[in-house]
Chain A
Amino acid sequence: MATTNGTVENGQPDRKPPALPRPVRSLEVKFTKIFINNEWHESKSGKKFATYNPSTLEKICEVEEGDKPDVDKAVEAAQAAFQRGSPWRRLDALGRGRLLNQLADLVERDRTVLATLETMDTGKPFLHAFFIDLEGCVKTLRYFAGWADKIQGRTIPTDDNVVCFTRHEPIGVCGAITPWNFPLLMLVWKLAPALCCGNTVVVKPAEQTPLTALYLGSLIKEVGFPPGVVNIVPGFGPTVGAAMSSHPQISKLAFTGSTEVGKLVKEAASRSNLKRVTLELGGKNPCIVCADADLDLAVECAHQGVFFNQGQCCTAASRVFVEEQVYAEFVRRSVEYAKKRPVGDPFDVRTEQGPQIDQKQFDKILDLIESGKKEGAKLECGGSAMEDRGLFIKPTVFSEVTDTMRIAKEEIFGPVQPILKFKNIEEVIKRANSLEYGLTAAVFTKNLDKALKLASALESGTVWINCYNAIYAQAPFGGFKMSGNGRELGEYALAEYTEVKTVTIKLDDKSP
Chain B
Amino acid sequence: MDASERGRLLDKLADLVERDRAVLATMESLNGGKPFLQAFYVDLQGVIKTLRYYAGWADKIHGMTIPVDGDYFTFTRHEPIGVCGQIIPWNFPLLMFAWKIAPALCCGNTVVIKPAEQTPLSALYMGALIKEAGFPPGVINILPGYGPTAGAAIASHIGIDKIAFTGSTEVGKLIQEAAGRSNLKRVTLELGGKSPNIIFADADLDYAVEQAHQGVFFNQGQCCTAGSRIFVEESIYEEFVRRSVERAKRRIVGSPFDPTTEQGPQIDKKQYNKILELIQSGVAEGAKLECGGKGLGRKGFFIEPTVFSNVTDDMRIAKEEIFGPVQEILRFKTMDEVIERANNSDFGLVAAVFTNDINKALTVSSAMQAGTVWINCYNALNAQSPFGGFKMSGNGREMWQCRTLLCNVVETVSLCRQETVTAQDMTAFCAPQRRAGLSTHQTFLHGNPGPAVSRGEFGLREYSEVKTVTVKIPQKNS
Task: Give me the interface of A with B, judged by CB distance under 8 Å.
Answer: 8-12, 84-85, 88-91, 93-94, 96-98, 101, 139, 142-143, 145-150, 163, 169-170, 198, 447-449, 452-453, 473-474, 491, 505, 507-508, 511-512
Q: How far is the CB of A426 from the nearest CB of chain B, in Å?
A: 12
Further 13 A-B residue pairs, CB within 8 A, beyond A474-B3, A505-B358 = A85-B475, A89-B477, A89-B478, A90-B475, A146-B55, A146-B56, A146-B57, A448-B438, A449-B418, A452-B415, A453-B419, A507-B363, A511-B335
A9 to B73, CA, bound (A): 42
**Complex Cα–Cα for A150 and B400 (A):** 8
Q: Judging by beta carbons under 8 Å apart, are B60 and A150 in contact?
A: yes
Say yes or no: A508 contacts B359, CB within 8 Å: yes
B391 at the A interface (CB under 8 A): no
> If the complex has contacts A449-B437, A452-B417, are A11 and B137 also in contact, measured as CB distance less than 8 A?
yes
Interface CB pairs A-B, < 8 A, 21: A11-B135, A12-B136, A88-B478, A94-B383, A97-B52, A142-B8, A143-B4, A146-B55, A149-B56, A150-B56, A163-B362, A448-B415, A449-B419, A453-B417, A473-B4, A474-B3, A474-B60, A491-B60, A505-B362, A507-B363, A512-B335
- CB neighbours (8 Å) of A90 from chain B are 475-478
| Contact with B62, one of A145, A148, A491 (Cβ below 8 angstroms) | A491
> Known: A85-B475, A89-B477, A449-B419. Contact between A507 and B359, CB under 8 A?
yes
Q: Are B359 and A143 neighbours in the complex by a CB distance under 8 Å?
A: no
Say how far B437's CB is from chain A's closest CB, in angstroms. Answer: 5
Count: A-B pairs, CB below 8 Å:
102
CB distance from A504 to the nearest CB of B (A): 12
Do A97 and B4 touch (CB < 8 A)? no
For the complex, what is the distance from the CA of A507 to the CA of B359, rounded to whole Å? Answer: 6
Of B53, B131, B336, B415, the contact of A10 (CB 8 Å cutoff): B131
Query: In the complex, are the beta carbons of B136 and A11 less than 8 A apart?
Result: yes
| Pair A474/B59 contact, Cβ less than 8 Å | yes
Nearest-CB residue, chain B, relative to A12: B136
| Complex Cα–Cα for A149 and B384 (A) | 7
Residue B52 contacts which of A91, A94, A452, A491 (CB distance < 8 angstroms)?
Answer: A94
Taken residue by residue from 54 to 69, chain B's Cβ proximity to chain A (1 for < 8 Å, 0 otherwise) reads as: 0111111010000000
**Contacting residues, chain B, for A474 (C-beta < 8 A):** 3-4, 59-60
Does B7 count as interface, using CB distance less than 8 angstroms?
yes
- A-B pairs with the 4 shortest C-beta distances? A146-B56, A11-B136, A198-B478, A8-B134
Distance (whole angstroms) from the CB of A18 to the closest CB of chain B:
17
Q: How far is the CB of A228 from chain B (nearest CB, A)?
A: 15
Contact B359 A98 (CB under 8 A): no
Bound-complex Cα distance A449 to B73 (A): 11
User: In the complex, A448→B435 CA distance in Å?
Assistant: 12
A88 cross-chain contacts in B, Cβ below 8 A: 478
On whether the beta carbons of B134 and A94 are closer than 8 Å, the reply is: no
Q: Main secondary structure on chain B at its contact with chain A?
A: helix
What is the chain A residue whose CB lies nearest that of B475? A85
Which residues in window 350-407 of B have CB below 8 A to A? 358-360, 362-363, 366, 383-384, 401
Assembled-state Cα–Cα distance A143/B8 (Å): 10
Q: Which residues of B contact A449 (CB under 8 A)?
A: 417-419, 437
A149 to B137 CA separation, bound complex (whole angstroms): 31
Asked if A146 and B7 sit within 8 Å, CB to CB, the answer is yes
Q: CA–CA, A146 to B58, complex, Å?
A: 9
Q: Is B11 positioned at the interface, with any CB of A under 8 Å from its CB?
A: yes
B11 interface neighbour in A85, A101, A163, A507, Cβ under 8 Å? A101
Contact B477 A84 (CB under 8 A): yes
Q: What chain A residues lie within 8 Å of B418 (beta carbons)?
A: 449
Chain A minimum-CB-distance residue to B9:
A8
The answer to whether A448 and B56 have CB atoms under 8 Å apart is no
Q: Could you tell me if A142 and B4 are in contact, using CB atoms closer than 8 angstroms?
A: yes
Within B113-154, the residues touching A (CB, 8 Å) are 131, 134-137, 139
Q: How far is the CB of A44 from chain B (nearest CB, A)?
A: 31
Q: Does B49 contact A (CB under 8 A)?
A: yes
Q: Which residue of A lies closest to B419 (CB)?
A: A449
Smallest CB gap from A86: residue in B:
B477
Residues of A near B139 (CB, < 8 A) are 11
User: Which chain A residues border B137 with CB–CB below 8 Å?
Assistant: 10-11
Contacts of A149 in B (CB 8 A): 53, 56, 383-384
Distance (Å) between the CB of B73 and the closest chain A CB? 6
B359 touching A148 by the CB < 8 A rule?
Answer: no
Q: Separation in Å of the B149 CB from the closest CB of chain A?
A: 29
Report the bound CA distance from A431 to B154 in whole Å. 61
